[in-house]
Amino acid sequence: MTDGVSVGAGRFAPTPTGRLHLGNARTALLAWLWARRHGLRTVLRMEDLDPLAVPPGCVARIYADLDWLGLTYDEEPRWGGPLGPYQQSERAALYDGALESLNAMGLLYACACSRKEVLQSTQAPHAHDEGPIYPGTCRPVSGPRSRLELLDLPRIGGRRPALRIDVARALERLGIQTVRFEDQVRGSVELDVSKDLGDFVVRRADGLAAYQVACAFDDDAMSCTQVLRGSDLVLSAVRQVLLLSLWGRPLPSYAHVGLVLGRDGERLSKRDDALALETLRTSGLAATDVRRRLTGGLGLPDTGDLAALVAGFEVGPNLAPDVRLEG
């Protein structure tokens, strides 16, 4: 998949549904430093999987924020690169192919359960990031399973179905009971996916690939050998490791770093205007000062100078704790 690109990459992959805040900026900066430290390519991927969810002007503001912060990318939507396109809205056909390969393994089934129905039918605890654990209501009983016509799935009870992956069957195919990976920040991560996460959605009812599929596929297809992002995505990583394993692809080096917390101790959200990068940028603050704040407490040179930060940067357990950046 990566012919002609011999060196790996680090990436930043924002979902353009709101303004970048200091938490996003910290992840972007750390990922960029890690890649540069190891002489890797830097990739900016716009995760605009659902173009209807992208507010007008949002993508342009993300570019302006990153440019201001001094993070330049070798490959990104504005100027492309050998493994593009770099915006997910233009990659639907690639995701369809990736889904078809799971389908060919007999691992997919249609499910039109609403979120409310899933909630009512399960006693299981929530998987936190994607709502309640799906109890397998629509999972076909065991036995051989035929390939689905993905382009022409019949409606169920008048509703267009989503596609779920039969996780138990996937694990069986791989000959494993749990999904395991080494995280450069958190150490060994291991989860019984069928119990702890359940059969997750791989294609939404509207026909769009699910985040897990698009993200895992793109990290591999764009030869991203480093995936540094917030610790809120550890459970996503488990699903993505499962998918990459099924596709027979190598895993990137994962690093899930602590989140940035606001004054109230809660993680930042797109509603925290005071800590939006755009607010800081337009208030006349220097980018150097923001970079200093974002790397504070990591034992790096306190100058905010990018070259100095790159030279001193290491990824390890010191990036695990959540951090508070006072506004």
Supply the DSSP string of 6-18, one letter for each residue. Answer: -S-EEEE----SS
Nearer to Zn ion by Cβ, of 21 and 203: the residue is 203
State the burial class of residue 37 (Cβ atoms within 10 Å of its Cβ: 0-12, 13-18, 19+): middle
- Smallest gap, in angstroms, from Cβ of residue 164 to Zn ion? 7
Cα-to-chain-centroid distance, residue 166: 21
Of all residues in the chain, what percent are helix, strand and coil, respectively (each to 5)? 40, 20, 45
Q: How far is the CB of 11 from Zn ion (least distance, A)?
A: 33
Of 25 and 113, which has the nearer Cβ to Zn ion? 113
Q: Which is nearer to Zn ion, 118 or 255 (CB)?
A: 118
CB 164 within 8 A of CB 199: yes
The least distance separating Zn ion from the CB of residue 107, rounded to whole angstroms, comes to 16
> Would you say 194 or 245 has its CB closer to Zn ion?
194
Q: What is the CA radius of gyration of the chain?
A: 20
Joined tokens for residue 2: 């990566």
Q: Kindly state the DSSP code that residue 54 receives in the 8-state scheme.
A: S
In whole angstroms, the minimum distance from the beta carbon of 148 to Zn ion comes to 14
The least distance separating Zn ion from the CB of residue 137, rounded to whole angstroms, comes to 4
C-beta of 156: minimal distance to Zn ion in Å?
8
Q: Is the CB of 116 or the CB of 271 nearer to Zn ion?
A: 116
**In the complex, what is the shortest distance from the CB of residue 154 to Zn ion, in angstroms, rounded to a whole number?**
14
Nearest CB to Zn ion, comparing residues 34 and 134: 134
Q: How far is the CB of 162 from Zn ion (least distance, A)?
A: 8
Residue keyed to tokens 């995936």: 227
- Return the bridge partners of 283, or none: none
Q: How many CB atoms lie within 10 A of CB 298?
A: 16
Smallest distance, Å, CB 170 to Zn ion? 17
Whether the CB-CB separation of 192 and 323 falls below 8 Å is answered with: no
Paired with 165 in beta bridges are: 108
Give the interface with Zn ion as residue ranges (CB under 5 A).
Answer: 111, 113, 137-138
> What's the one-letter identity of residue 222?
M
- For the chain, the straight-line distance linking the first and the last C-alpha, in angstroms and rounded, comes to 43
> Whose Cβ is closer to Zn ion: residue 38's or residue 139's?
139
Q: Which is nearer to Zn ion, 115 or 263 (CB)?
A: 115
Q: What does the DSSP assignment read for 269-326?
A: -TT-GGGBHHHHHHTT--HHHHHHHHTTTTT--TT--HHHHHHH---SGGG-S-EE--
* Pick 138 or 259: Cβ nearer Zn ion: 138
Report whether the peptide linkage leading into residue 85 is cis, meaning its omega lies within 30 degrees of zero.
yes
